[in-house]
Each structure stands twice: as structure tokens, then as C-alpha cells.
Amino acid sequence: MWPLPVAPARAATSVLNAWTNIASTGTSGNVGTISAGNLTVSAGANRLFVAAVCMELSGPNNFTSLDMALGGTQLTQIGSTENSNIQEHCYMGYLLDSQIPAGLNTLTVPYDITGASTIAGAHIYWASYAGVNQTSPLSDSNTNTNNAANVTFGQQIDYLLNGVTFYVAGNPGTPATMTPPAGPPAFSQLLETTSNGHSSFIGSISSVPHTTSGFYAGTTTVTFGGTTGARSSLVVASLRPFDGVTTTGAASATPLTSSTVSVSMPYTNDDNANNTYTIEYKLSSSGTWTTWVSNAAHSASPYTNTITGLLPITSYDVRVTYNDADGVNGTNPQVISNIVTPACSSSLTYTAPAGTDRVVVVVVTNELGGNPSNVQIGGVAATTITTQNNGNSRIFTGYRAIGTSAVPQTMNVTATNGECIYANTYTYIIQAAGNGPANTINSIATGTSNGGVTTTTASVFNAAAGGRQ
């Protein structure tokens, strides 16, 4: 009996520093910076610092600018009502783990009101979370206002398994109360501040984190009671959890030329960017796999690679494997079967691998009439090794020295009267064109036959550590 597969584990977003009302300030001018106080963000992995402010203005106005900063580092805005001509404003922003300053730092709120209004009062909050995606920390967010004692999310808010959804909301009445949305999943009130002429609240899902993925409708409503005003504002955000597990996409393998197959391997997640991949191939009629690349270096999705050196009009199978020490979710490995390479063509897009002292050798064949000629390798005329004729069968062999490169080099190989073109790269080859011990070609032997076996007319000598074609 085989053991049942174990579902890969994923990191869940968790509360690192609970939401705190760090400051509730009174009146201040038309432009300035509010210093909310000092704070230290706790240590953790894949942290996200979040701060919010709700402001009551002396009259309806919008802002030229409204920001927040921690230790001088400006937060990335999640949402703000600053462009609305209203009296009760709210803002929310974040810092990624790499942006969070160490130790004790001051949280500030720089602002500039467009009109003549001043600040009547401000409530300033902060929190931090661990286990948050550092590339795209938000699953969803929105800002909304309403001329009543309630405000909706304003648009559908998508949330993810192991993520967290929360909001800041304000009303110009005081003391007001708040009824959080019932969900599901339900929200709870975490903080309430009713000082300095207005009321604001922090709400979050009652149970952290989300146990499924889903969404809140745009009509999801935060309702205020008690002493209220006729304008309400809200910023809502849902965090994307850190997920080091690779989720596979549908891999594909497509004939590119008569001798090459292009492979694509899309994936998602792998937030710690540590996955690799392996590609194998075989003749469809064979049971033996050949490894094309194993544990290839990590790169962004999709992985792409090209298998070269294949035969025309031949069926191949390709097997791809996603490698991730954190686990892989989805079909893995994947086999793409019966990929048939097309017939030969008179041109070839060839990628020479990285290497030292490289020489690209090409073989051009023709059975339709006419000797292959004007063979170009990457726009440079190939140096002829030999051209052999036997009835309608004509074969040209030539080369080009392309030197040393730390990266692969793609080039077009073309020929007049070329029916099929093949290419291969050899490394550590003398780069001086010509024949002889001090040149690229050490020795040549040729032969033709009307049967199935061809014997050369002379011996061919392989130089020490050299190649033989």
C-alpha cells in the first residue's frame, strides 16, 4: 500500500503587533506634520507594518497631500480619501519588511490641506503582521466615503486562505459607536477612539487568518450609531499571505524547428524564490529519458527552455519537474506526449550554449537538387570543412568560431539550397580558422556510399582534448 500524499504546508499571516491607537491629537494648522509618537516593530519573518489615520477637518476640503512615515521612511499608500472634498478623512499605508527601520522610530503624518480648512482632530493607529507576501502584499483594497452614518466597502474585496482583512473607518460624530459587518467571515471591532470631535474605529476579521479564500461584496457595510455625523469614510485592505510553496501551472512543449522543442513551465507563489526545474525528453517509442537540464537556476515564471539537437519528423515526449524544498502543489511532474517535430527547413534558429572558445559546426543537406551554398551562421559566412555529393544527396559541413561567452547566444543559420540544417557547439576549440594542428580543424576524412554504410577514404586524427565531427 502506498502512503497518501501530504498537502504542502503554507505560512499563515499572523498578528505581530496588535493594532494600537498611538495618538489622538487636537487642532492643528492648514499644513504641517503631526508627530504621533515613537514605536518599535517586533522582529518576525516577512513582516508588514501598517498605519492609519482618520482626520476631522474644520470644514469640507481635500488634501494636496496626505502621507505617513516611520523613522522618515514614507509608507506606501493602501488607500486615502484625500482627493474627496469632505470633512472626515481616512488614510492607510504600509512598509515592507525590508523598509521597516530597526529600533525605536517616530511615526509622523505630513499633510497639506488644499483649501482654508484646518485639522480639528486626528486619530493615529498602527499594527504589524508576519507571514505577508513581500512582492504583492495586498490581495485587495478599496477606499470609500458616504454622506450618511454608514459606509460600504464600495467594491468587491477578495481575500485569500491564510490572509487577513481589516479596515479603518471614521465618522464626524462623537461619541459614535460602530457595528462591524457580520460577514461571513465576521468582523470584530478592535479599537474605538471618540476624542477630539470625531470617532474612528479599527475592525478586523474575528478569527485570524482566513480559513478559506473568498470575497466580501461591495455592499458590505460598516454602520455607525450613537452621536453621528452625515459623512463616513473607510479604507479596507486584505493581506496576501507569504507562500513559499510552488503551485504548478500547465506546462507546454511546442515544436520550434525541425530540431528544437520550446518548453514553458508557468508557476505561482514560491514567495521565497527558491524553486528550480528539471526537463527531460525521450523518443515517444522509447522508455529511456534523457536529462536536458536538471535543477536549473531560479527565474521568474514562466520557466522557458529550448531542447535542441532533435530529429525532424520525429515524435518526442517531454517530462518537466518543479523542484521546491518548501513543497509543490499541483501536478508534478508533468509529461507532454507525442510532440512531433516538423520537416526540415532552409533556416534554423540556433542557441549556442555559454562556454569557452566555442565553435559552432553546421551541417546542411539537400536531396532536391543543387549544392548547399552561402551558408551563414549568425550573419557570418561559415568556413567550409567539406561538401560531399552522391547522386541527389548533397551535404555541406562548415563552422564558425564564436569565442567565449558567459551567456547563451542565439543566431540564425541560413543557406541557399538548404533543405535541412543542423547545428552543434563545441568548446575549448582553437579559434584560428583553417586546417592543421594549430587551427580549428585538425584533420578531415570523407566518404560516400550507395549502401547503408559509409567508409571514409582516409584516417581522421583527433587532437588531444579536441573534438571530431
Cell of 109: 503624518
Peptide bond into 172 cis (omega under 30): no
> Nearest to residue 220, comparing CAs of 170, 189, 184?
184
User: With b meaning 16 or more CB within 10 Å and e meaning fewer, what string describes 246-255?
Assistant: bbbbebbbeb
- Mean pLDDT per 10-residue interval, the chain, length 469 residues: 40 93 95 97 96 96 97 98 96 98 98 94 98 94 97 97 97 96 95 96 97 97 96 97 93 90 95 94 96 96 94 94 94 97 84 95 85 93 91 89 96 90 93 90 73 56 51
pLDDT at 457: 62
Peptide bond into 302 cis (omega under 30): yes
Give the strand pairing for 76-80 and 31-39. unpaired
- DSSP category for residue 43: P
Query: Which strand ranges, in their side-by-side order, compose the sheet holding 119-130?
Result: 14-25, 119-130, 48-61, 86-96, 76-80
pLDDT at 419: 81
pLDDT at 362: 95
**Contacts of range 73-77, beta carbons closer than 8 Å, 24 or more positions apart:** 73/99, 73/100, 73/101, 75/49, 75/51
* Residues 117, 382: Cα–Cα separation, whole Å: 77
> Which whole-number Å values give the CA distances from 10 to 49, 244, 254, 292, in the listed order?
21, 7, 33, 31
Q: Are 66 and 111 in contact (CB under 8 A)?
A: yes
Give the H or E element holding residue 198. Answer: none
Q: Cα 381 vs. chain centroid, distance in angstroms?
A: 41
Q: Are 171 and 150 in contact (CB under 8 A)?
A: no
Q: Which CATH superfamily is domain 246-340 in?
A: Immunoglobulins (2.60.40.10)
Q: Cα 41 vs. chain centroid, distance in angstroms?
A: 28
pLDDT at 374: 94
C-alpha torsion sign, points 58, 60, 64, 66: positive
Q: Are 114 and 61 in contact (CB under 8 A)?
A: yes
Q: Are 142 and 134 in contact (CB under 8 A)?
A: no
* Residues 69, 71: Cα–Cα separation, whole Å: 6
Dihedral Cα 127, 111, 224, 197, nearest 10 deg: 110
Q: Are 165 and 210 in contact (CB under 8 A)?
A: yes
> Nearest to residue 70, comparing CAs of 131, 147, 124?
124
pLDDT at 468: 40
Listed in order, the ranges of the chain carrying CATH 2.60.40.10 are 246-340
> Nearest to residue 198, comparing CAs of 167, 230, 171, 231?
171
Q: Burial of 410 by CB count in 10 Å (0-12 exposed, 13-18 middle, 19+ buried)?
A: exposed
Q: What is the CATH number of domain 344-446+455-469?
A: 2.60.40
